[in-house]
């Protein structure tokens, strides 16, 4: 029998989702082609939309309806006869209400305005290599992030409150423990890998025009199991993926003239995000079950396509002939084996998104350490460039030549995303754990790719194990359900050990 009260809650939530979609469209426009002169006006628009969404999600009416169907304190449904889907939605709505209710409306408005402006100033500061241009904006973002942690509450460290806005079900101490074990293993593996590196091919670092890089992006996307009418690709300072609706995905990439591989892996990464959003239950749009389980799970999907599939031999056996046609004669004499060696080449690098699989986690751990210091008031923004360079030397044995390849390289802090970075490593670990399960279910997956030249069966596996569940499960529950084991660093480390240098 239909529950009219529950349906009323769904209706209100869907109305709010429309305004959230409008905010996402504004963000996408901001990332891609907004005129510079429109920044102040756009920040006001973003602030108004953020305020409107917050007001609707914490309104007295929404609270009243929720309180009749669920305990706002525990998230437990009051009617045992509701379906599992309804109970899960009510649980997540109550959780979100508790969190948002603690954030004052004026603070939400101002934080949106500050981060919108900071993101645009960051882009200019990065382009011109002027950290001091960005520093005052970052100081405001850090201060507001500390306030956010205070509003949300925490038990041990203010950073944990921020981490839980992106990964709510993994304690900070668990992240520390995972990272310690992972780093200890990487400290043993990386020196061995560096001793046996083949020389890099200069042809793979040749200058490639924007027009050819665009052709590469389009050819790559046509290879992936994505309906072209459900997404669009644009350019931005930092590759990103923005979901307007499961059937409306916006992804961006960037072109580095001497690294076409960077473009390829940016597209794969962001397409992985988009495919996750496309795979969420469309009929439940506007409810938590049409939302990602967590950012860690989201990153597991992007890293699955970027690394597990995108750096596999059968993928390149299918895609390389297409690439050779576009980059003829640059790649005419470059064998697939040579390219494959470059894809898996281990070398300490300055830029996180260009890092190899083995050193990538160290980039995240560096940011993890800096974020905690900034939020805990153990590090000032003015000292950030110097400390960043010190930690690069400590973690990777190299020192950035300038802030553009140092502390200005990521947009996350400008956007107020303190607490996000750990999810890249958590997602990477989850991706390889999922990949191990995928290989058990499809032991002939490599032959399937080569014979069918169709990757749809891979997306179907992820759809069944991850996408269709939305927020039904927490990250640990979803990984356990999908793989039969708790989240672990072991499958990822096993992958690194099997690489041949």
Q: How far is CA 394 from CA 193, 363, 370, in A?
A: 18, 11, 13
Torsion over CA: 367, 369, 371, 373 (sign): negative
Say which residues have a Cβ less than 8 Å from residue 377's Cβ, sequence separation at least 6.
146
- The SS3 of residue 141 is helix
The whole-angstrom separation of Cα 495 and Cα 16 is 43
34: DSSP letter: -
What tokens were used for 23? Answer: 């905010």
The whole-angstrom separation of Cα 34 and Cα 38 is 7
Say which residues have a Cβ less than 8 Å from residue 221's Cβ, sequence separation at least 6.
228, 231, 233, 267, 271
The yes-or-no answer on residue 270 being catalytic is: yes
The whole-angstrom separation of Cα 96 and Cα 75 is 10
Chain length of the chain: 501
- The SS3 of residue 74 is coil
Q: Are 371 and 159 in contact (CB under 8 A)?
A: yes
Q: How far is CA 420 from CA 50, 162, 263, in A?
A: 19, 8, 22
**Selected catalytic residue, list 20, 31, 160, 270:** 270
Catalytic residue positions, numbered:
270
């Amino acid at each position: 029998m239909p529950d009219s009260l529950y349906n009323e809650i769904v209706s209100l939530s869907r109305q709010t989702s429309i305004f959230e979609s409008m905010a996402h469209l504004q963000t996408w426009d901001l990332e891609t082609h907004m005129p510079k002169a429109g920044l102040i006006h756009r920040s006001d628009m973003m602030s108004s939309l953020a305020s409107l969404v917050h007001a609707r999600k914490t309104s007295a009416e929404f609270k009243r309806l929720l309180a009749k169907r669920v305990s706002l304190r525990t998230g437990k449904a009051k009617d045992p006869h509701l379906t599992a889907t309804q109970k899960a939605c009510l649980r997540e709505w109550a959780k979100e209400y508790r969190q948002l209710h603690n954030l004052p409306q004026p603070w939400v408005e101002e934080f949106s305005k500050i981060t919108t402006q900071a993101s645009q100033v960051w882009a200019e500061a990065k382009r011109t290599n002027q950290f001091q241009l960005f520093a005052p904006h970052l100081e405001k973002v850090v201060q507001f992030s500390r306030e956010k942690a205070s509003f949300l509450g925490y038990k041990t460290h203010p950073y944990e409150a921020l981490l839980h806005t992106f990964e709510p079900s993994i304690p900070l101490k668990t992240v520390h423990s995972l990272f310690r074990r992972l780093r200890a293993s990487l400290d043993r593996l990386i020196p061995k890998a560096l001793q046996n590196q083949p020389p890099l091919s200069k042809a793979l670092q040749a200058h490639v025009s924007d027009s050819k890089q665009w052709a590469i992006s389009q050819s790559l996307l046509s290879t992936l199991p994505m309906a072209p009418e459900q997404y669009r690709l644009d350019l931005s300072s930092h590759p990103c993926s923005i979901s307007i609706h499961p059937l409306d995905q916006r992804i961006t990439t960037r072109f580095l003239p001497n690294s076409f591989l960077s473009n390829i892996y940016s597209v794969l990464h962001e397409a992985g995000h988009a495919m996750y959003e496309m795979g969420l239950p469309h009929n439940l749009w506007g409810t938590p079950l049409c939302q990602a389980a967590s950012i860690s799970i989201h990153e597991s999907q992007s890293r699955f396509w970027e690394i597990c599939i995108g750096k596999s031999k059968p993928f390149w056996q299918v895609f390389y002939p297409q690439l050779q046609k576009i980059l003829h004669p640059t790649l005419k004499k470059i064998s697939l084996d040579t390219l494959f060696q470059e894809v898996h080449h281990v070398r300490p690098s300055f830029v996180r998104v260009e890092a190899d699989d083995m050193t990538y986690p160290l980039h995240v751990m560096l940011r993890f350490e800096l974020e905690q210091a900034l939020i805990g008031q153990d590090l000032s923004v003015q000292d950030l460039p110097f400390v960043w360079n010190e930690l690069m030397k400590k973690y990777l044995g190299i020192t950035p030549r300038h802030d553009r390849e140092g502390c200005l390289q990521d947009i996350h802090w400008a956007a107020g995303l303190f607490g996000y970075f750990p999810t890249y490593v958590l997602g990477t670990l989850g991706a390889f754990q999922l990949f191990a399960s995928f290989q058990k279910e499809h032991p002939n997956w490599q032959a399937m790719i080569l014979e069918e030249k169709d990757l749809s069966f891979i997306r179907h596996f992820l759809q069944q194990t991850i996408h269709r569940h939305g927020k039904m499960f927490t990250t640990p529950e979803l990984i356990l359900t999908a793989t039969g084991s708790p989240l672990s660093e072991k499958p990822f480390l096993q992958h690194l050990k099997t690489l041949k240098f």
